[in-house]
Amino acid sequence: MTDKQKPTQHIKLYAGPTHACGYLDDQSSVSVFADPSLDFDNLLYSELSRLGFRRSGNHVYRPQCASCSACWAYRVLVDKFQPSKSQKRILKANQELELYIVPAQALSKDYQLYEQYINHRHQDGDMYPPSFQQYEEFLFSDWCESLLVKALDGQGQCHAIMALDILDDGLSAVYSFFAPQSPYKSLGTYLILKTIEICAAQNLPYCYLGYYIKDCQKMNYKGQYLPAEVYRQNRWQSY
């Protein structure tokens, strides 16, 4: 721990309500939240990320279910990552897109893309139906320094967006969304691959991809980005 990093050993955790798991059938889910009264910043959040925590809006949380430990925080080892043949094809197929990295702001034009994505891809999820308030409270934070990576075509049309949090040892992918009818393919994969490239360009060792769940199709795709580590049994382990 450097002098700038804040100790986390005395942080109070509060358990949220038990609810049906959104990823595994017949499972209940509980998350613990870091004390919301803390003076959060990116350094403290970085420390908590190394303990398996994530951010949603202003809240920092980690799954802590009594009868299940299927959610593993997942981070790609940037300096060792080599895209697979299929990932190289995705990069090549989308090479006409231009990336723009901007400070995170909740803008109505970006929300329109988010709304299209949720309405088309996630009508069975917690984020449906979408609203601008829900979009703003989910992706953005009063205290966290974040970025938006936007993929635009030659006419300036935005096809995909990745929201990223800045950590002291990497970038954390908060969420990505894209135009459902875009002619460009595999945009979710494309955004992750470009995020790993951004980490490499900034000499950041890790790209955090949230929680990996082996038995959930919505969450096990992260295992395609290797080599990586998962946080389980209170330590980072090679995956």
Provide mean pLDDT across the span 148-161.
98
pLDDT, position 214: 95
- Mean of all residue pLDDT scores within the chain: 94
User: Is residue 97 within 8 Å of 151, Cβ to Cβ?
Assistant: yes
Is residue 8 pLDDT above 60, yes or no?
no
Is residue 21 pLDDT above 70, yes or no?
yes
225: left (phi over 0), alpha (psi -120 to 50) or beta: beta
pLDDT, position 4: 47
Structure tokens at 207: 């790209």
pLDDT, position 200: 98
First to last CA, the chain: 24
pLDDT, position 197: 98
Contacts of 180 (CB under 8 A, 6+ apart): 116, 117, 120, 121
CA dist 208 → 125, 151, 164, 231 (Å): 22, 20, 9, 11
Q: In this structure, are strands 28-29 and 72-77 parallel, antiparallel, or unpaired?
A: unpaired
Q: Whose structure tokens read 């990576």? A: 149
Give residue-wise pLDDT tens across range 60-96. 999 999 989 999 999 999 999 999 999 999 999 999 9
Under the banding of pLDDT at 50, 70 and 90, the label for residue 1 is very low
pTM: 0.94
Rounded distance, CA 117 to CA 123, Å? 10
Under the banding of pLDDT at 50, 70 and 90, the label for residue 186 is very high
Structure tokens at 103: 């400070």
pLDDT, position 9: 54
Give residue-wise pLDDT tens across range 96-134. 999 999 999 999 999 999 999 999 988 877 889 999 999
What are the start and end residues of each CATH 3.40.630.30 domain in the chain? 75-238
Is residue 7 pLDDT above 80, yes or no?
no
Domain covering 75-238, topology: Aminopeptidase (3.40.630)
Q: What percent of the chain has pLDDT over 70?
A: 96
Cα 202 from chain centre? 18
Rounded distance, CA 16 to CA 39, Å? 20
User: Is residue 175 within 8 Å of 163, Cβ to Cβ?
Assistant: yes
Other residues' Cβ atoms within 10 Å of the Cβ of residue 61: 18
Q: Whose structure tokens read 């994530």? A: 54
| Per-position DSSP letters for 22-84, written without gaps between them | SSSTT-EE-EEEE-TTS---HHHHHHHHTTT-EEETTEEEEE--TT----EEEEEEGGG----
Q: Which amino acid is at 96?
A: E
Provide mean pLDDT across the span 20-40.
94
User: Is residue 31 within 8 Å of 61, Cβ to Cβ?
Assistant: yes
Residue 165, helix vs strand vs coil: strand
Which of 165, 164, 194 lies closest to 99, judged by CA? 194
Element containing residue 158 per DSSP (H, E): strand 158-167
pLDDT, position 2: 41
